[in-house]
Amino acid sequence: MPRRTIGDLLERWPYQPEGLCLRVITGDDGTEQLQIRLDLGVLQLALEGRPDGRRPHGFAGLLEYHLAQREQYRRRHHTIEGFQLTPADCENLRSEAAQVYQRYFSCFHLGRYQTVERDTARNLTVLDLCWRHSSTEADRWELEQYRPYITMMNALARCELHVADYDHDAAARALQVAIASIRAFGAQHGDRFPIAREVETLAERARAVEQERPRSEADHLQRQLADAIAHEDYEAAARLRDRLERCGADELPPFWE
C-alpha cells in the first residue's frame, strides 16, 4: 500500500513560527514552484499563470478571460459602456487576486522582484476592471481599498530592479510617481482609506536610494565590478577593472585568484 501522507516532507522542512518559511523548487515537469511552509503543511503555488495552476475557460486566469469577454463586447457594440461583471464574477476575481497576492508577497521576501512587479501590475488591472464594470457599488469598493498597498509594492519592486541595474535615477522616479499616485488617491478617498503608511514606506526607501547612489564614476564602476565578481562573470569584471584603471581610481579591489 503506497504511503499518502506528507510526513516525511514536513520532517525534512521544519516549520519556523518566528519567520517566513519560503523556497522555490523545480517540479517534475521542469516548472518552478513556490512553496510556503505552514504550521500544518505546505502551500505550493505555481510561479507562472494562476498560482493554483488552473486555466479557467482555457485562459491563463479569470482576469484574462474577462478582459477577452470585454473585448468581444467592444467589438459587437463599438464601446465598453454597458459591459458588466456580476457579483459572482467579482467574487471569483477577488479570490484569484488573493492567490496572486500570496505569491507576490512571498516573492518580495525572496527578492524575486520581477515576479512582484508583474503580479502587482496584474492585481491593479483587476482593481481597474472591477471599479469600471462591477454591477454593484459594494463590489466596486471591495478591492479598491487595497490600491495604495498594491501601488506601493509595485513601486518597491521596480525600485529594486532599477537599483540592481545601478539606475538610481529610475529607482527614485518609480518611488516618487507612486507617492504622487497614492496621494492623489488619498485626496479622493482619504476619508475611507488611510494612505500614511504606504507614503512613508516609499519615502523612507527613496531616502535610502539617495544614500546608496554612487558618488562618482569610479564608485559606480567599483560596485559593478564587485557584483560581476560575486556572480563569477569574469569577462565583465575584467572590462570593468580596465575602465576603473582608466578612471584613475586610487584603489582597485583585489583581482580574483
Residue 223 confidence (pLDDT): 65
Q: How many CB atoms lie within 10 A of CB 109?
A: 11
- Alpha-carbon distances of 183 from 47, 53, 176, 188, rounded to whole Å: 32, 36, 11, 9
The structure's pTM equals 0.82
Give Cα 142 to chain centroid, integer Å: 21
Which residue has cell 503580479? 119
Say if CB 30 and CB 15 are below 8 A apart. Answer: no
Max distance between CA atoms of the chain, in angstroms, equals 72
Say if CB 64 and CB 56 are below 8 A apart. Answer: no
Which residue has cell 539606475? 167
The region of weakest confidence among 85-99, 143-157, 202-216 is: 202-216
In this model, does residue 51 exceed pLDDT 70?
Answer: yes
Say if CB 177 and CB 203 are below 8 A apart. Answer: no
Say if CB 103 and CB 55 are below 8 A apart. Answer: no
Residue 218 confidence (pLDDT): 57
- C-alpha cell, 200: 512613508
* Phi, psi (deg, nearest 5) at residue 134: -60, 140
62-79 per-position pLDDT tens digit: 999 999 999 999 999 999
Most confident of 120-124, 141-145, 228-232, 245-249: 120-124
Provide the β-strand partners of residue 45.
34
Residue 3 confidence (pLDDT): 60
- On average, the pLDDT of the chain sits at 88
- Alpha-carbon distances of 117 from 29, 197, 205, rounded to whole Å: 25, 20, 16
% of the chain surpassing 70 pLDDT? 86
The region of weakest confidence among 68-82, 164-178, 232-246 is: 232-246
In three-state secondary structure terms, 34 is strand
